[in-house]
Amino acid sequence: MAEQLRLMAVHAHPDDESSKGAATMAKYVAQGVDVLVVTCTGGERGSVLNPKLDRPDVWANIGEIRRAEMDAARAILGVDQAWLGFVDSGLPEGDPLPPLPGGCFALQDVEVAAGPLVRLMREFRPHVVTTYDEEGGYPHPDHIMCHKVSMAAFEAAGDPERYPELGAPWQPLKLYYDIGFSKGKIMALHEGMLAAGLESPYEEWLKRWEDRPDKGPRITTRVECAEYFPVRDDALRAHATQVDPDGFWFHVPMELQQRAWPTEDFELARSMVDSPLPESDLFAGVRETAHAR
For the chain, 293 residues long, give each residue's pLDDT as a single digit of tens: 568 999 999 999 999 999 999 999 999 999 999 999 999 999 999 889 999 999 999 999 999 999 999 999 999 999 999 999 999 999 988 888 899 999 999 999 999 999 999 999 999 999 999 999 999 988 899 999 999 999 999 999 999 999 999 999 999 999 999 999 899 999 999 999 999 999 999 988 888 877 788 999 999 999 999 999 999 999 999 999 999 988 877 899 999 999 999 999 999 999 999 989 999 999 999 998 775 55
| Residue 140: DSSP 8-state | -
- Sign of the C-alpha dihedral, residues 206, 209, 213, 215? negative
Give me the DSSP letters along 241-269.
Answer: TT--TTSGGG-S-HHHHHHH--EEEEEEE
C-alpha 252/C-alpha 200 separation (Å) is 8
List the binding residues for Zn(2+). Answer: 13, 16, 143
What is the set of domains in the chain, with CATH numbers? 6-181+216-292 (3.40.50.10320)
- Cβ–Cβ under 8 Å, residues 111 and 152: yes
Among 23, 11, 86, 21, which residue's Cα sits nearest to residue 227?
23
3-state helix, strand and coil shares in percent for the chain, rounded to the nearest 5: 40, 15, 45
Q: Residue 38 forms beta bridges with which residues? A: 10, 82
pTM assigned to the model: 0.95
